[in-house]
């Protein structure tokens, strides 16, 4: 490999994870910022959030079909070939996937734009959503080729392309969304929601432009590497390549589809079932539609908050697929197991305190973020219960993709989706239950998927997870932190407002949890040295015998 590519790709697994984790935190923070801002805009509120989220979830279904599984597909195929020194075969896979999935994106973009009215009226029973669907259609033109290029560089061992373009995309999405919504103040709520989603299409196009520039700068080194290759390349026909790609991409894309179907099920059933539930109480069709959008908007507010820690978990899935694929290709099971165990530990270290924080500060957090529409604290509390299972599902998915069991996540998610659909129809139709039926089904859905995938992984991988280190200590530290945070907020709230009280409680919680992790000696030298400034931190803690 050329010196430039070697330097760029010669980073550790944990460094790759940290790079992508940082970008995901920035992305979700930006996403949270613009959602918070636009929801509080006059005329938007919970109803506007409902329209915004309903259309976006339908877009996500088509996105899953056209591109969501692509990075994992491409990175797996590329990493397997580069691990054997076959860069020519890896580049052929890249070019074929680029042409194939780009064509697929064009097809789905046309379907979404011209089918918007049908989907809004006959599938969702919410006419105002059609404007949002049409505004999102252009994004489907560029997202698939963007995903292919990201997957290619991930397979080469560099997550720079993925992390940078994701941040660029979300930055412009944040800025443009706020600007477009403010420009539409005074318009119908559905139009404001569509304007907010138009920013997604614009941001995707800008991110794709950057990625083309990123690839163009490295094209010379890639071509040189292929030209100077001494390893005999695999003799694969186009037919064989199609079979190989389809064998992996279909189950992964299907799995991606079903993973968003959980939210899509809520999108369709909540709108219809809420309108059915409240129809007996009277009201016009427009009033019932707005009631459905209001309740769905409340659900989406809580989910937006919980998506921040889950985005960090998703980085492990992205980073772990090429690592495990390469290790399996080299028949190095010990290395694969070390990466899996490391992912579980780091995930547990941050997901349990997040769960505890949401559980004790749900109301204050929503009041801080959405002062004009703070409803939904019980929804956030209940959703926080599923956080550990949802986050670990990302890791298990990555492991299953890496060991070639690509149909397992699809099967698990399919079973979970069917159960969720049945529970939603049964529970959301009850007026006294309404939106909480969807929350309950989501929690059960994530627990069921976790149980199925874990059982399969344990059959094929010799997991050596230290239960005390990965679960017992983080849960204990999080529980203690939660109690401290709860009483800190209550004490501050006696003389201070909600904003200051919440921020102080969160700050105290972070400090307390960090101290508890150190006191319980749950970090070792290897963990710390892998992170920036880790050597200095390690030296300081060793001085006090805390690691």
Q: Residue 505's pLDDT is what?
A: 96
205 vs 68, more confident:
205
Q: Residue 479's pLDDT is what?
A: 96
Highest-confidence segment of 75-79, 100-104, 131-135, 151-155: 131-135
H/E stretch holding 97 reads: helix 87-114
Q: What is the pLDDT of residues 264-277, one digit of tens each?
A: 888 888 888 888 88
pLDDT at 230 over 70: no
In the predicted model, what is the mean pLDDT of residues 19-37? Answer: 77
Using alpha carbons only, give the angle 241, 245, 249 rounded to the nearest 5 degrees: 170
pLDDT at 319 over 80: no
Q: How confident is the model at residue 463 (pLDDT cuts 50, 70, 90)?
A: confident
For the four alpha carbons of 4, 5, 9 and 10, in that order, the dihedral sign comes to negative
What proportion of the chain, given as a percentage, has pLDDT over 90? 32
| CB-CB contact of 110 with 139 (8 Å) | no
Average pLDDT, the chain: 82
Q: Residue 237's pLDDT is what?
A: 67
Highest-confidence segment of 130-144, 448-462, 527-541: 130-144
pLDDT at 3 over 50: no
Highest-confidence segment of 102-106, 162-166, 238-242: 102-106
Q: Residue 19's pLDDT is what?
A: 64
Burial readout 275-294 (b: 16 or more C-beta within 10 A, e: otherwise): bbbbeeeeeeeeebbbbbbb
In the predicted model, what is the mean pLDDT of residues 363-368? Answer: 94
In the predicted model, what is the mean pLDDT of residues 162-188? Answer: 88
In the predicted model, what is the mean pLDDT of residues 167-182? Answer: 90
Q: How confident is the model at residue 341 (pLDDT cuts 50, 70, 90)?
A: confident
pLDDT at 115 over 50: yes
In the predicted model, what is the mean pLDDT of residues 45-60? Answer: 89
Q: How confident is the model at residue 215 (pLDDT cuts 50, 70, 90)?
A: confident
What proportion of the chain, given as a percentage, has pLDDT over 70? 83
24 vs 165, more confident:
165
pLDDT at 527 over 70: no
Phi, psi of 476 (to 5 degrees): -60, -50
pLDDT at 117 over 70: yes
| CB-CB contact of 211 with 165 (8 Å) | yes
Q: Please write down the HEC assignment for all residues of 369-404.
A: HCCCCCCCHHHHHHHHCCHHHHHHHHHHHHHHHHCC
Q: Residue 526's pLDDT is what?
A: 66
**What's the full length of the chain, in residues?**
547
Using alpha carbons only, give the angle 138, 144, 147 rounded to the nearest 5 degrees: 130
In the predicted model, what is the mean pLDDT of residues 376-388? Answer: 93
Q: In whole angstroms, how far apart are CA 298 and each of 264, 303, 374, 379?
A: 16, 9, 9, 8
Among 197-201, 463-467, 471-475, the range scoring the smallest mean pLDDT is 463-467
| CB-CB contact of 176 with 149 (8 Å) | no
Cα–Cα distance, 60 to 265 (Å, whole number): 12
Highest-confidence segment of 236-240, 291-295, 436-440: 436-440
């Amino acid at each position: 490999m050329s010196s430039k590519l070697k330097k760029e790709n010669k980073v550790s697994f944990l460094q790759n994870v940290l790079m992508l984790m940082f970008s995901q935190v920035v992305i979700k923070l930006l996403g949270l910022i613009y959602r918070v801002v636009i929801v509080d805009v006059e005329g938007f509120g919970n109803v506007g959030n409902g329209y915004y989220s309903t259309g976006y979830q339908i877009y996500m279904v088509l996105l899953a079909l056209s591109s969501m599984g692509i990075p994992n597909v491409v990175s797996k195929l590329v990493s397997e070939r580069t691990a054997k020194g076959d860069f020519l075969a890896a580049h052929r896979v890249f070019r074929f996937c680029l042409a194939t999935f780009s064509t697929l994106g064009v097809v789905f973009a046309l379907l979404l734009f011209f089918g918007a009215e049908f989907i809004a009226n006959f599938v969702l029973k919410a006419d105002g959503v059609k404007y949002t669907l049409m505004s999102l259609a252009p994004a489907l033109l560029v997202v698939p080729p963007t995903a292919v290029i990201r997957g290619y560089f991930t397979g080469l061992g560099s997550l720079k392309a993925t992390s940078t373009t994701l941040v660029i995309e979300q930055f412009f999405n944040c800025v443009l969304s706020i600007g477009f919504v403010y420009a539409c103040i005074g318009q119908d709520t559905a139009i404001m929601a569509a304007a907010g989603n138009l920013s997604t299409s614009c941001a995707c196009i800008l991110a794709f432009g950057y990625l083309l520039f990123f690839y163009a700068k490295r094209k010379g080194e890639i071509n040189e590497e292929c030209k100077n290759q001494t390893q005999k390349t695999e003799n694969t026909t186009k037919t064989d390549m199609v079979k190989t790609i389809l064998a992996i991409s279909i189950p992964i894309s299907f799995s991606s589809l079903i993973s968003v179907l959980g939210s899509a099920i809520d999108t369709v059933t909540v709108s219809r079932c809420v309108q059915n539930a409240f129809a007996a109480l009277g009201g016009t069709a427009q009033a019932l539609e707005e009631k459905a959008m209001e309740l769905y908007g409340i659900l989406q507010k809580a989910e937006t908050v919980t998506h921040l820690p889950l985005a960090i978990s998703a980085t492990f899935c992205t980073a772990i697929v090429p690592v495990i694929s390469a290790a399996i290709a080299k028949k190095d099971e010990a290395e694969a197991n070390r990466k899996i165990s490391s992912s579980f530990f780091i995930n547990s270290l941050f997901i349990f305190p997040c769960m505890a924080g949401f559980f004790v500060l749900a109301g204050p957090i929503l009041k801080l973020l959405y002062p004009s529409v703070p409803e939904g604290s019980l929804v956030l509390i209940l959703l926080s219960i599923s956080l550990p299972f949802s986050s670990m599902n990302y890791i298990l998915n990555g492991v299953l993709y890496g060991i070639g069991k690509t149909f397992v996540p699809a099967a698990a998610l399919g079973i979970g989706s069917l159960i969720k659909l049945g529970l939603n129809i049964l529970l959301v139709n009850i007026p006294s239950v309404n939106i909480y039926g969807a929350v309950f089904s989501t929690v059960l859905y994530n627990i069921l998927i976790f149980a199925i995938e874990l059982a399969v992984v344990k059959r094929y991988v010799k997991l050596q997870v230290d239960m005390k280190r990965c679960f017992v200590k983080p849960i204990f530290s999080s529980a203690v932190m939660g109690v401290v945070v709860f009483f800190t907020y209550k004490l501050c709230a006696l003389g201070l407002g909600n904003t200051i009280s919440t921020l102080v409680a969160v700050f105290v919680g972070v400090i307390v949890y960090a101290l508890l992790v150190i006191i319980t000696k749950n970090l070792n030298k290897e963990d710390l040295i892998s992170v920036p400034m880790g050597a200095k931190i390690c030296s300081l803690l060793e001085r006090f015998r805390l690691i």
